[in-house]
Structure 1
C-alpha cells in the first residue's frame, strides 16, 4: 500500500500526499540520497493494469526527459517499483492557477499578462522540441510562492517528431472547458490547439470564469465548435481592448486564423499594456464567421446571387479551361527531360550557378587532381548530354588541386584551423579522438597521426586528438536492474544520459529485462559517457561479420567497441558485438560477437559504428553472414 513512509526505489521516502488528479497522486517526498525535498507523482494502483494510462504515464516520462525550461516543471527520475509507476519532479511550493482564480476571482491585469507571457515562452520551447501539450488549463499551471508559473502534466503530450500520442488516435484528450474545436471533434491537433486553450485560460484569468459552460460535457464541447467566443470586455469592461483582441485571435474556430506560434502571441502580449487599444493585433474572422455572413447576404438577395452565379459560372468555366491548357503545357515542358549541359572545365561557382537553373542544388565532392586547377569541375554525374529532369540528382566533382602526401604539423592549433590546413593540402581527415588531459586550450589539437613530415598514404588514415572540456556534467547512476529495458532507458534519459551500449547474452531471465548494468547504481558518470546494459538474447538467427575490419589505433590502451545501431522504444542504442582494449598500430579486427535477426537471408548489410574510448569515430556499412 502506497502512503506516507513508503520508500520508492530505495531512495524516495514519501512524506505526505499534497494533490490528487484523475490518474495519479502527488506526494511530497525526501530524496534520501541528496537530502532534497521533491515531488513524486504516483500512478493510482487501480490504473496500473490499464494499458492506456500506463502508456500515458510513460509518455510523460519521455516528454519530461526532453523538456528543460524555467517554466516547465522538471522531472529527473522515474521508474517502476513493485508494481508502482512513479515520476520524481521538482516540488513547487504553491497552488495551482485554478486555485488562485477560485479564491480571488479575476486576477490583476498586469499579473495575468505576466503569467500568460511566460506560459507562451514555455509552450514555444515545447513546440520547437516537438511536443504539443494538449491539456493547457489553470489546473496544470502551478504558481509558486513568488508568483512564478510552471506548466505541469505532459501526460497526454503528443511528440510530433515521433508522430505518436499517449492514447488511441480516436480518443478525445484534454479538458472540455479548454478544448479547441478540433479536439472537440476528435481530430488531430497541433500547436495551435495549445494556443486556443491558452486563449481560454487568459479569458478565465481576466474575467474569473470560463467562456463556455453547460450542464454536460457534450454541450460544452458543442459550444466550442459552434458558439462565437464571448467578448471579455462584456464581463469586465476595464479589460484593455488589446487583451480582448489577443484572446479573440487565439480562440478562432478555424486554427488557420489563430496565432501561428506561441511566440507570435507572446509578441502581442508584450505590447498589450503599453498599447491598450490593440490596433496592432491583426487577425481575420474565421471561415465559419465568414460563411454565416455570406449566408445572410444570400438570403437578402437571392435573385442577384443567382444572376451572379450564372454569369461568373460561365466565366469560371472559360477561365478554368484556359488555366488547365496553360498548366498542361507548362507541366509538359517542366517534366520533359532535356539534355544535360557540360559542366566540366567550369569553375565551381559558375557550375553551381548554371546547375541551379535546372535542379535545386547539385552535390559537390572534391578530388585531388594533377591535371586541373583547384576549384575546377573535373567530372560530373550524369554525363553531359544525358536526358535530365529537374528532380534528378546531379553530382559535380571539383578539383582539390594536386594535394600532398606529406602530413603538415597541425598540433597546438585550433581544430578549425587544422581542418582548413588539411583541406588546403588535399588531405582527408578520417577520425577525431577527444581527450581531457593536458594543458592545451579546449578545442586544440593535442596529437596527430601521422606525425608531421610522414607520408599520409603509408600511414593509412589521418587522426587528430583534440582537447575536450573536463567540465562535463556528471550524474549519479540509478539502479535499473530488473527493469524492462525500455523503462530503464527512460529513467537514464531523465538523468541527461544519451549513449547506451546494449549487450545480449544467453539467460533464463525474462526477455527484455535488464540483467546487469555498468556503472553500478550511485556511481557518478559524465553525461557524455556510455551506460552498458545487459539483456537476455532475443529469439532469431545469428549473424557474424563476414570480413575483418581494418583499423589504425592511434595510441596504446585504447578501449575499442564495435556496435550495430538500433532502436528500443524510440531510444537510439548500440548493440555491441566487440569490446576489448587494443594497442596502437594497424589491426585487422575480427569481432567475435553476433547480431540476432529475424531473417531468412544468408547475408545482410548493416551499418557498424566504431567507438574508441567511448567516442564515436567511424561508421561504415558491412556485410554479416548467417552462422
Structure 2
C-alpha cells in the first residue's frame, strides 16, 4: 500500500496515522483545495472481500449524511487501482475525511490513566450529543469505544468510524449469527445475542465507555472476547464505586441504570442520558431518582402505620436493606397499592385497631365508629402526602430558560466570562470579518435573542480581522511544498511560471507573484515562478577581454569564461569579436562560454628602395706627349677637358689612362 502515493489524481497520501481492524488511516493533502485531510484506505489483505468494500462504503454514506461538529466530516470517497507484486490489479476503496488534531480516548487512557469524575462526565456528554443527532437522523453507530472518540487540543469531542453503522430501519443480514459486530468490551447484550440493534444499544456502549473513563477498566473483562460477551448477557455489572470508592452515589445510579440488560429498562434516548450525565456532574437530581424515591416511599407507608406514627412514614424503611423489615401488613399494602383496600383489611394489625382495643371500657360501637373515621382521615392524609411526594420526585425538573443577549462586537474574553457566569458552556471559532475588530465577537450560535438554559453550549464566532492574509515566503521550496504552504495560509497556488536563474536549482521556487509578504484577499491565487535550471547568455561582443569575463562570471550569469586569441586585422587588438554561444541564447547553469579576442597582425618587412642609375663617364683616347714630358701630357688633357675636376678626384688619372679613347688619340 505504500506504493499508492496519489488517489484519484488529487489526494496525496502522506504518513501513516494509525491502523484499525479493516483499514489504515494516513495523513494527506487535497492538492486541488490545498488542505490537509485524513485518508482511510482499506487494508490490502481485505481488498478482495466485497463485505469490507460494503462496510467502508456504508461508513462514507453514513458519516456524509450527518453534519454535526461532534462527528468527523467525510469529504469524498472512491476506489484506487493497486497493482500487486504478482501483477494482479486490486481495487482499494478509500474515504477522504476531515483531519482532526488530537488523541483518541484510548490513547488518553493509556498515557494518562483514568479521568476525574468531571472530566469523564464532560467527555460522555460530548459523545452523547452527536449520538443524539445521528439517532434522530436514523443512524446507529454500533461501535462506540475509546478508540472511536477523539479529544482535540481545544477539548472538543469528535466521534468517528461509522464503519458498521446502520440505518434504524435496516434490519438486513446483521441479525444472522455470523454478523455479530462491534468490540466485545462495549457490546450491548442484544448485540452479543445477535439481535437487531437500535439507538439504545449505542447508549449501553456509551455507558461502558463512561465506566472505563471513571475506573480505568470496562465493566466486564475476561480471558477471551467470547467470555466478555457472555458476561454482558448474563452477569450484572458491579457499581463503579466498587473499584473507586470515592465516586459519588449519583454516578453509581446513573451507570447501573444505563447498563440494564433489558433495553426497555435503560435510557431510551441519548438526550435523556446526556441530561442525567450533566445533572450528575452538577449535583442535580437525576431523572431516574424520582422512580427510586417513589418506590422507597410506598414501601415505608405500612410500616409507619403499624408503628402508630404518621410522621415516621419517611423514616421507617420497607425496602430491602433497611433496618426495619416489612411486616405481613406492610407487604399487603405494598402489593395491593390501593388506598381503598387498606380500609377493608381486618383491623387487627394496624394502629387504629390497637387504639380501639385499649379503650374497650368506652362505648364500643361509638368509639369504634369514631376511630374508624379518624383512622380513615389520617390514612387519606398520609396517602395524599405520599402521592404529592411521589409526584414531586417523579416530575421532570423544570428547565429555566432565558434570552441570550447580543454579544456582537464585545471582546471575546468578556463575552466568554459572562456566559460562564450564566451557567452556559462556551466554544470558540474564528472567522474573518471586515467590520468587527480582531478579537471581538462577530456572532453567536444560537443567535442573540434565542432561549437558552443552563448547560447549553454557546459558540462564539470571534473575528480575525479583515479577510486578508500575507503571502508566505516559499523561495527555495519545491513546488509541492510551496503549494502546501500557500494552501495552509488560506490562499490558492496558481500557475507555474518558468524562468531562468543562474543559481536556483531546476524545479525550485524562485519567487511568488504577488511577492512574499504581500497582503492579499483570502482565497486569492498566488503564481509560482519556478527555475528552469538554465541561464540567459549575455552579448559580450565589442567588450575587452576583462569586461567580457567579468560580465560572464558575475552574479547575474555565473558562467565560466574561456579565452582564445586570434590575429585579425578587422578588429582592434584586445576586443572580443566572437563568442561560443550567441547573446540571448540559453545554456545550463555553470556552463563555459568561449570568447575570441582580436590579436594585432605582424607588420610586413620593408621593401629596399630601387638603385639610382649611374651616369656613364665617356672615355677619351689618351694623347701621348713627348717622352718623359708628363707635364705636357697632363697639360694636354687639362687643355682638352677645360676643367680641373679630373685632377681633384682620386683615381681619376688612372681611369683616364685606361680609357681607350684617351689611348687612341696619342
TM range (shorter): 0.3 to 0.5
Higher strand share goes to which structure? 1
With CA pairs under 8 Å and 6+ residues apart, which has the higher RCO, 1 or 2? 1
Higher helix proportion: 2
Structure whose CA Rg is larger: 2
